[in-house]
């Protein structure tokens, strides 16, 4: 479960919108895969995930689904993004259970066996912990993160000293508590009484812009805004879809990709 541990360390655990459909969940997590700068150019994660799901339902039962995308390249690391739904998703799993945890994988050719082993240990961890119910009933994303860390620890402790598993768990919690290292591109005062939503936008030429947020209403509208790229590059606040948007930082990647760190504030 190393890739799940890495996903938790890197902040790739997301709360899925209430009443989200299976297609919507797959599209959202696929965009997280698209944000990985190590995915080969020309890959369309959203389309490939949907095609694979048509071939075979990836709900493995126990309240978990493992949708995945096979890479064209051999080299690279197993990579995943995790979505949590407290309500549960009608996924069409063979056991009929709603899916509360969707772990979407990007699988380079050389990592096929690693992926199969990870799925096996994931199922083992679920059964060892007594099932999905604690995660399904978790009060918030922080509780889900800690439960997943318990799963990782329980599996690692079978193959090494308990102290190693505890050290890894502590390492992850310390990483989560550490301040973000990115320097702000532009900051502006945000109204204290307004509801603020932190989100990201990936600029990935020539694919375009991908708005990474569970807020579908303004997120989809923002993605269709033809001037969005210019606004993000300028770094100045702008209004759209009943919200004020602020660019708080950016991270450049290879291939001309840029991940913008943003905040949306609902206007009264």
Q: Using one digit for the tens of pLDDT, what is the confidence trace for 170-204?
A: 444 544 444 444 433 333 333 333 456 778 888 88
Domain total in the chain: 2
10-47 pLDDT tens trace: 788 898 887 789 998 998 898 888 777 777 666 678 88
Concatenate the DSSP letters of all residues of the chain into one string: -HHHHHHHHTT-EEEPPTT--HHHHHHHHHHHHHT-TTSPTT--HHHHHHHHHHHS--EEETTEE--EEE-SSS-S--EEEEEEEEEEE----TT-PPEEEEEEEEE-GGGHHHHHHHHHHHHHHHHHHT-SHHHHT-SSHHHHHHHHHHHHHHHHTTSS-HHHHHHHHHHHHHHHHSPP-PPPS------TTS-EEEEEEEEETTTEEEEE-S-HHHHHHHHT-TTHHHHHHHT--EEETTEEEEEEEEEE-GGG-EEEEEEEEE--
Task: Report the mean per-residue pLDDT for the chain.
Answer: 80
Residue 28 lies in domain: 2-177
48-79 pLDDT tens trace: 898 889 899 999 999 999 999 988 888 888 99
Q: What was the pLDDT predicted at 165? A: 45
Cis bond before residue 252 (omega within 30° of 0): no
Residue 13 covered by a domain: yes
Same domain, 148 and 249: no
Same domain, 77 and 19: yes
Same domain, 110 and 18: yes
Which of 71-80, 94-103, 157-166, 207-216 is the least confident region?
A: 157-166
Q: What was the pLDDT predicted at 238? A: 86
Same domain, 146 and 252: no
Same domain, 45 and 170: yes
Over range 113-140, report the average pLDDT: 91
Over range 262-267, report the average pLDDT: 76
Q: How far is CA 191 from the centre of its chain?
A: 28
């Amino acid at each position: 479960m190393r890739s799940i541990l890495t996903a938790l360390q890197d902040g790739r655990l997301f709360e899925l919108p209430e009443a989200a459909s299976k297609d919507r969940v797959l599209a959202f997590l696929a965009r997280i895969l698209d944000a990985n700068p190590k995915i080969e150019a020309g890959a369309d994660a959203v389309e490939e995930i949907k095609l694979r799901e048509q071939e075979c339902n990836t709900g493995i039962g126990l309240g978990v689904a493992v949708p995945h995308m096979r890479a064209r390249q051999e080299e690279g690391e197993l990579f995943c993004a995790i979505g949590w739904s407290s309500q549960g998703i009608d996924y069409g799993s063979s056991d009929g259970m709603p899916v509360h945890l969707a772990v979407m994988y990007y699988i380079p050719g050389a990592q096929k066996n690693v992926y199969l082993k990870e799925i096996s240990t994931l199922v083992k961890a679920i059964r060892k912990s007594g099932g999905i119910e604690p995660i399904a009933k978790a009060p918030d994303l922080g509780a889900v993160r800690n439960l997943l860390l318990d799963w990782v620890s329980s599996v690692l402790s079978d193959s090494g000293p308990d102290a190693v598993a505890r050290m890894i768990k502590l390492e992850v919690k310390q990483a989560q508590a550490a301040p973000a290292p990115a320097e702000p591109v532009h900051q502006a005062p945000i109204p204290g009484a307004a509801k603020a939503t932190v989100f990201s936008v990936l600029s990935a030429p020539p694919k375009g812009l991908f708005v990474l947020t569970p807020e579908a209403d303004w997120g989809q509208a923002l993605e269709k805004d033809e001037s969005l790229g210019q606004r993000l590059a300028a770094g100045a606040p702008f209004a759209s879809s009943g919200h004020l948007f602020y660019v708080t930082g950016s991270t450049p990647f290879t291939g001309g990709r840029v991940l913008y760190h943003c905040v949306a504030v609902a206007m009264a």
